[in-house]
Structure 1
Amino acid sequence: MSQDLKRRLKSRHLSMIALGGSLGTGIFITSGSALYMAGAGGALIAYLIMGLLVYILMNSLGEMAAYNPVSGSFIQYASDYVSEPFGFTMGYNYWFNWAITVATELVAAMLIMGFWFPHTNPLIWCALFFGCIIMLNLLSVENYGEAEYWLSFFKVLTILIFIIVGVFVILHDLHHSDSAMTNWQSSNAIFHGGLTSLFEVFLLSGFAFQGSELVGIAAGEAENPQKSIPRAIKQVFWRILLFYVLTMFVISCVIPYTDTRLLNSGNSVSLSPFTLLFAHIGLSHAASLMNAVILVAVLSACNADLYSATRILWHISKEGNAPKIFRRTNRFGVPTTALAATAVFGLLGFLCNYLGSGRLFLWLVNVSSLAGFIAWTGIAVSHYQFRKHYLKQGHALKDLPYQAKGYPIAPLFALSLCLIIMIGQAYVLLLEGHFSLTDLAATYIGVPILALIWISKSISQRRRLNH
């Protein structure tokens, strides 16, 4: 068995992998919840701020990945430029982040299928989709890249059609209806829920933008990474910002934030804002059509999530921080044992019959989103330290294949923003009368575990150095 990955991903693969990881449940389903909780203005502000954060982090990641392309990306950078315990902790956090997200996407897919087959046991769909995703990930890297490229292309085309149709609906309503754009005609509708709701939507928008950094994870399998990575990062940011901001604007103009069919209680996510828009213009088969589109989007994102988490575990093992068995790859360069271990988290989807699909989905979103913000803090800290080390070694900035903008203010701003958003969740739960031990545990369950991992690794390293 080999222990090496293959450099077979092209620039177009890298660009679409990043889109495939981020254009999924977050934009197609939870965007409706963002509108419901924070109103049109609050939702747009949250997505704009998150777009700025992603722009900064993608620039930081691009500088490091173009200079030192490795499979594992910022996890390796965290070890090299911050500390070994820090990288160790970031590695397990990010693996956990995407392994949990695999289960999140599977539960979302089950809920979507319930729109057509409400009386069918959802475990059937979970088993079917889970098996297909695993089979796709067992293919060679090149085949994976091609599959993800076309799946993501299909999603991009769908969103563009949605935006175009939405703009026509807005223009039509403005000309023929006095009640057009009701979400933008009163202060309560624009910023519904105030600061509390805004912090809640930050968590949702963070979940929606997660995956942008997947291009860095795939760097170890990229052809000519010094050129392809900067190009992919530049393209991905503008595409994501275009899709998310414009899509949210269209949704906020056409769908009232008070529409109870938007995701707000976790009982049903089958009616997404995309479905509601096409129903608004009277297309009889809109619900089924959009549900099919959303299903493809969710499964594509699930495919990218499993790919990413598998490579992360492989990298952790290669660095000696996980059992050697996870280093093994098959003749196609696929880390099969790491894939099997990661796929275990997908089995959480089978808990839906016991906990309820909606409740399970929202819990998984909370856990995944906070882990994602922790990973983003790792990127910011690693880049700050990377540039310091790079300059101390006597290198010139002009020699970097890709140079991030705004250093050192940009990574420090990104770090501060991530911390504020994470702490802000406690503000929502504790200071605004929404305290619940269940919600608190669901949101912060990973924090004490990561703290223990960091402490144990630090103690282990100190003992090793003393001997």
Structure 2
Amino acid sequence: MSNMTTRPPDSLTPDTAPSTSGQPPEQQAGLKAGLKNRHLSMIAIGGVIGAGLFVGSASGIAAAGPGILVSYALVGALVVFVMRMLGEMAAANPTSGSFSAYADRALGRWAGFSIGWLYWFFWVVVLAVEATAGAVILEGWVPAVPQWAWALIVMTVLTATNLASVGSFGEFEFWFAGIKVVAIAGFIVLGGLAIFGVLPGSDHASTGFGNLTEHGGFLPNGPGAILTGILLVVFSFMGSEIVTLAAGESSDARRAVAKATRSVIWRVGVFYVGSILVVVALLPWNDPAIEKKGSYVAALDSIGIPHAGEIMNFIVLTAVLSCLNSGLYTASRMAFSLGQRGDAPHSFARTNPRGVPQAAILASVVFGFVAVAFNYLWPDTVFQFLLNSSGAVALFVWLVICFSQLRMRGIILRESPEKLVVRMWLFPYLTWATIGMITFVLLYMLTDGKEGGGRSQVLLSVLVAALVIAISLVRERARRKDTAETAAPR
């Protein structure tokens, strides 16, 4: 790494410097502007909807009752603030490295290196989780094909999609996200009609919103259950930042980022808070069907929708495939950005004639395949360690975004104030308040001592983060030594 040059932490890096051609720098470096506006719009809308919303909400409802709405609203507000900060930086300098590149500029090489590799690690573990989840559903439909074979098929198909072109990734994600959006919108409409007793053909009695208070009150397990609910739902929001990475491969990146940032409030409000409100209004929070069948299936069953389980399995499979598709894309683009900055093998920054970072994609999917194998061979040991050690990375990413934005606001105003088209509200007070909220969630996770709970996730994630930071500091020290020796007079 002796060919790297030193620079002040707040100066422009080569891969994020303003482009004289008007294009994001990655397009000049080899990536293609293959994502259309409709692709980015749907990625922005659907990116915040993960499979966790469909399969993980039941445990949150069981823990907090109707108060889970407050948990979703608080985490949703956190995501809105973080996305506003990220949008401010991304609209000024769109790049496939997103927050990792901004951390590199604002906080130093160690920060960009560390959070970039941690984020890559998070998504390649997610690849294994989602591939296994999809394989379980597909095996239920076609038992003749074993689960491991379905996982292999799913991973191979989506790898081929990502290798083909960024446009093929965008097209697949457009339809995957579209199905999720239509499904939740339809669920909210049908559920809303049933709540008020006007759904044609429904055998569900008119309930209004009585279920929110009639079964032990709005907070049947006490106010503390809201915090427990936050721990259970916070990770289902991960992925909202993907649009800022994808913007580097669009023809109008600033407009796409600004639009996505401004629309995140209604997206969180409608898809998360709105759909969960329908569930807890349709059913008593302690109805056994919620945990047995899943919250959305139980709600659909309660209003007489036939084949609700099969319908929801299809939607969950779509969400899983969407997460796999976007996870592989995100991991590879982060690896590409790290390669550009000299923080990963230089081969990761090379693109093929179609503008695809082939080596970065293959490296990401190989690790994903290895993690899938761990999930089958050692699910309770090696794979559980991978899960726990990546569990708190989402919160680390959000913290880094907050601290980066504190510095980047001044850098943008000093160097190119005309690019500050998106501004964080009440800066810097709301930024510091968001940092406090995230820190509180991390500290509260330490009180969750059950096996695989919050404490083990935070401690193992901190351990992995410390290891990555140590590597970055050692590399930086070696790089500076090499630079000094090269510059010394002979």
Regarding TM over 0.5, the answer is yes
1:146 positional shift: 2.1
Looking at structure 1, the residues matched to 453 and 237 of structure 2 have their Cα atoms a distance apart, in angstroms, of 25
Tell me, yes or no, if structure 1 residue 400 matches structure 2 residue 423.
no
**Residue identity opposite 1:381 in structure 2:** F
Amino acid across the alignment from 2:275: T
CA drift at 1:222: 1.9
Match of 2:123 among 98, 121, 127: 98
CA distance in 1, matches of 2:452, 2:182: 42
**Alpha carbons 1:108, 1:361 under 8 Å: kept:** no
d(CA) in 1 for partners of 2:287, 2:480:
60
Distance 1:26 1:204 in 2: 10
Q: Deviations over 1:297-329 (max 9, x none)?
A: 221121111111110011111110111121222
**Aligned pairs, number:** 450
Any unmatched runs of 5+ in structure 1?
A: none
| Identical residues among aligned pairs (%) | 32
State the 1:387 CA deviation. 1.1
Partner of 2:338: 316
Q: In 2 relative to 1, CA 336–422 (structure 1 residues): closer, same or farther, beyond 3 Å?
A: same
Cα distance in 2 for residues equivalent to 1:314 and 1:390: 24
Task: Tell me how far apart the structure 2 counterparts of residues 210 and 438 of structure 1 sit (CA, whole Å).
Answer: 18
2:221 to 192, 196, 199: 192
Query: Where in structure 2 are the equivalents of 1:31-430 lying within 5 Å?
Result: 31-41=57-67, 43-113=68-138, 115-116=140-141, 121-172=146-197, 176=205, 181-187=210-216, 190-192=219-221, 194-195=223-224, 197-263=225-291, 271-347=293-369, 348-354=371-377, 367-391=389-413, 393=414, 396=417, 400-429=420-449
- The CA deviation string for residues 155-177 of structure 1, in whole angstroms up to 9 with x for no partner, is 11111100011112222299946
Residue 10 of structure 2 corresponds to none
Shift of the 33–50 alpha-carbon distance from structure 1 to 2, 3 Å rule, reads: same
Partner secondary structure for residue 443 of structure 2: helix
31, 47, 65: which one pairs with 1:5?
Answer: 31
Say which SS state the counterpart of residue 220 (structure 1) adopts. Answer: helix
Counterpart of 1:239 in structure 2: which amino acid? R
The answer for the alignment partner of 2:4 in structure 1 is none
The Cα of 1:114 is off from its aligned counterpart by 5.3
Q: Tell me, in whole angstroms, the C-alpha distance in 1 between the residues paired with 2:285 and 2:382.
A: 24
Structure-2 change in CA distance of 1:413 and 1:158 (3 Å): same
Q: Which amino acid in the other structure matches residue 349 of structure 1? A: V
What is the Cα-based RMSD across aligned positions, in Å?
A: 2.9
Cα deviation digits, residues 27-66 of structure 1 (max 9, x gap): 111112211122111x111111111111111111111111
The answer for the alignment partner of 1:445 in structure 2 is 460
- Secondary structure (helix, strand or coil) at the match of 2:113 reads helix
Structure 1 residues 182 and 439, CA gap change in structure 2 (3 angstroms): same
Question: Hey, what does 1:17 align to over in structure 2?
Answer: 43
Question: What amino acid sits opposite 2:318 in the alignment?
Answer: V
Opposite residue 77 of structure 2, the aligned amino acid is L
Alpha carbons of 1:461 and 1:208: their partners in 2 closer, same or farther (altered >3 Å)? same
Aligned to 1:465: 480
What corresponds to 2:20 in structure 1? none
Q: Which has the higher contact order (CA 8 A, sep 6+)?
A: 1
Worse-matched range after superposition: 400-409 or 252-261: 252-261
CA-CA distance at 1:284 after TM superposition: 3.3
Q: What residue ranges of structure 2 are gaps of 5+ in the alignment?
A: 1-27, 485-490
**C-alpha distance in 2, partners of 1:342/1:216?**
20
Of 120-129 and 379-388, more deviation after overlay is shown by 120-129
Contact 1:39–1:193 under 8 Å retained in 2: no
Determine if contact 2:50/2:237 at 8 Å carries over to the other structure. Answer: no
Q: 1:388, CA displacement in angstroms?
A: 2.6
